[in-house]
Amino acid sequence: MIKCLKLILFLCFITTYNSQTTNNNSPQELFIQSIRNTGEHKTIPLGKTIYQGVFTGNGLLGTMTYLKDASSCKVTIGRTDVYDHRNGEENLFERPRLPLGYFEVKLSDNIIEATGKINLYNAESSAELKTNSGNIHINAITFSEEDYILLQIDDQNYKNKYEIIWVPEKSESPRRNFSYVKQPENYLPNPTARITNHNSIITSYQPMLAGGGYSIAYMEKKFDNLRHILIATDYQINNNGAENNAEKRLTSFEWNKLFSKIKNHQNWWHQYYNKSSFNIPDQELQDFYNYQLYKLASATRADKPAIDLQGPWTDKTPWPGYWYNLNMQLTYSPLYTANHLELAESLIKAIDKNYNSLIKNVPKEYQYNSIALGRSGGPDMYAPVKVLKGSNESITNSEAETGNLTWLLYYYYQHYDFTQDEVLGNKVFNLLKKSINYYIHLLGKNKEGKYKLEAKTYSPEYSKGYAFNTNYDLSILRWGLKTLIEMDSKKGRKDMLHSQWQDILQNRIPFPTNEGGYMIAQDVPYSESHRHYSHLLMIYPFYEINWDQTENHNIIEKSINTWQSKPEALQGYSLTGHASMKAMMGHGNESRDIVKTFIQKFVKPNTLYAESGPVIETPLAGMQSIQELYLQHWNGVTRIFPAVPEDWKDISFKNLRTSGAFLISAIRKNGKNTEVSIYSEKGGQIKIKPNFEGSFTASGSGNLIQQNNSVYVYKIPKGKILTLKAN
């Protein structure tokens, strides 16, 4: 009896202590604990697809571990820059992303149960295979700062024979696996890979018909009762050096520093997670958010390739490349608020590097001052747009997507706006000017003297979307003109086109509408289910038509309701876009519920997403939709907890980034905003809506410049913090 009483008192003490510790923890400590918890409690039953696997990555290399068959597990190896580079116009056959291959762990008996976990905090995956002969454990690490992969096999509990086999994938466009895709004539796969063994290093070299090749080399050491398989890769376009380079990299590996290398790898990830925090009182959404943060740093880095549709994890797919009419935009969308601009640099560098391709993408008549980007392509961003004013030449829908580059530059602009880096500002201004020049070439005036597009363009994904004056293009054009004018005015300069931009902006035709709200185009009503919100970009993400404008409430609601009223073709990003629009309206309950429906209906067990093949962008768009419950910036105003669900009483975030190079931290307790902290990285003014219920006090550095109802303008010096606290 006494022992039971002591036990009860002890448990009560522990519960009270844990509760006090949790309540007193900082937002950052709570977030780091959630990262740890996600990795510890989220177990994935391994299946026979990559959507039921566990993964690692470092922005260039990656692993995906899942089942091959009843007695085998596979660990696929991916490398994000391995693209074919043949000449020709068939981007997705001549220059597609190529698979490398996989390691097969082949057991002597059937697998009874297979489970996997991803340790998000330390960035490694583990798989447990259970059989009647015992269990075998496979751990994978893709080193963060060195381009090596380490597989660790624990077979101490397995009492039967097994083998590990490298299997190279056929080096051809993955679109060859899909019969509904039109196949080019006389297409040949690359030659068969050749495998050699030299000094216990096995190398699989894949020569390419276009020249060069890629290799995967591996070696094995056994210690600490584990089999350690170290993997290196190489890829060369113009020479055959890749055959030996991977082997040389393995030879130079310092095995005596293995454990310090693992520690350095873990420390990189720990520092990464400390850049910001985001605490959600919903385990499903918190796990989902944490996985996306892990996925982003697995998929790219500042010095690594931009993220394509697959990231480092390859599979059979009809989409072996980059898509520029929504996918790449959504992929990068959450990085800016999350304060991970170091990852978003890969997008900036990709655009800068491929400037010449952007010129080549427009008709020759316009190449002297214009740039553009078509629907899809490889890492060289060669994707022609063939819209020509006054031309009757037949072109494909993908060649008529005129607005893709300008929309992509919206995120380049965000990078500048969120950092106030004037070097970036100058670059994006020049890029945006030339992308808008293409539109100017296509403009003419109607009878009322209003500017309109005098060439058909294409509104992505809509079957009848090849039309005059699509809302896709008019929204993008309006945002581009407005941004150029604002940037030019801020600089105090007067670009020679400034007055023309103003004239077009003030005298353009209105967005086409009917009784259902915004139409697809001038003569194209919304009449069939449409997964893309290409006709609603003026609402989101541009916020040109927004909830501050009470006169636009009706058309916003009608347009969204009309879009959602035909659900047949709606996909995952239809829901994330819908959730973001609801968040703009302040409808937190609805926005949260839409995101949860999206996760439950469309997101795979390991948070990947598929439409005929893996496409990475939609869960990342879902991450941004969640961010927008906590922090939004539009119409010049930064909004704190603007769309919080009613039952989320105690929440917080730290160091989320917003316009003007400000880092925001905030706490909400018992359903009320209690504290907002604003750090000014560059110095300047912020217009903020803190959403306190009553009065508040300001402390620290910063002067109140203006107040308009619930919106306040503060000027905060560089490197200083202003704190607002509810009374």
Q: For residue 541, say if its preceding peptide bond is cis, omega within 30 degrees of 0.
A: yes
Given this model, what pLDDT does residue 24 score?
A: 67
In the β-sheet with 696-700, what is the strand arrangement from edge to edge? 277-279, 651-658, 662-669, 672-680, 721-726, 696-700
Q: Using an 8 Å Cβ cutoff, are 713 and 705 in contact?
A: yes
What is the block-wise mean pLDDT of the chain (727 residues), using blocks of 10 residues?
37 33 74 94 95 98 98 98 93 96 98 98 98 98 97 97 97 94 93 96 97 97 96 93 94 97 98 98 98 98 97 96 98 98 98 98 98 97 96 94 98 98 97 98 96 98 97 98 96 89 98 98 97 98 98 98 97 98 98 98 97 96 98 98 98 98 98 98 98 96 94 98 97
Written as one string, the DSSP assignment of 295-307 is HHHHH--TTSPPP
Q: Using an 8 Å Cβ cutoff, are 553 and 595 in contact?
A: no
Can you read off the two tokens belonging to residue 263? 């520690």
Q: How far apart are CA 402 and CA 690, in angstroms?
A: 39
Q: How far apart are CA 18 and CA 21, in angstroms?
A: 5
Given this model, what pLDDT does residue 239 score?
A: 85
For residue 369, the one-letter residue type is N
Q: How far apart are CA 462 and CA 521, in angstroms?
A: 10
Given this model, what pLDDT does residue 494 score?
A: 85
Given this model, what pLDDT does residue 12 score?
A: 38
408 CB neighbour count, 10 Å cutoff: 22
89 CB neighbour count, 10 Å cutoff: 9
Contact residues for 374 (Cβ-Cβ < 8 A; gap 6+) = 324, 361, 383, 384, 385, 398, 399, 401, 404
Closest CA to 337 of 408, 429, 419: 419
What the chain holds in terms of domains, given with CATH numbers, is: 44-274 (2.70.98.50), 277-621 (1.50.10.10), 651-726 (2.60.40.1180)
Residue that is written with structure tokens 């990342």 in the block? 620
Q: What are the backbone dihedrals phi and psi of residue 239, each rounded to the nearest 5 degrees, phi first?
A: -150, 175
Given this model, what pLDDT does residue 493 score?
A: 75
Contact residues for 46 (Cβ-Cβ < 8 A; gap 6+) = 52, 53, 54, 65, 66, 67, 73, 114, 115, 116, 127
Q: Residue 296, class by beta-carbon neighbours within 10 Å (0-12 exposed, 13-18 middle, 19+ buried)?
A: buried
Per DSSP, helices labelled H in 200-333 are: 242-251, 258-273, 283-299, 327-332
Closest CA to 397 of 424, 423, 374, 428: 374
Q: Using an 8 Å Cβ cutoff, are 190 and 84 in contact?
A: yes
Given this model, what pLDDT does residue 584 score?
A: 98
Q: How far apart are CA 207 and CA 196, in angstroms?
A: 14
Angle between the 283-299 and 617-630 helix axes, to the nearest 10 degrees?
Answer: 130
Given this model, what pLDDT does residue 604 score?
A: 97
Q: How far apart are CA 52 and CA 605, in angstroms?
A: 6
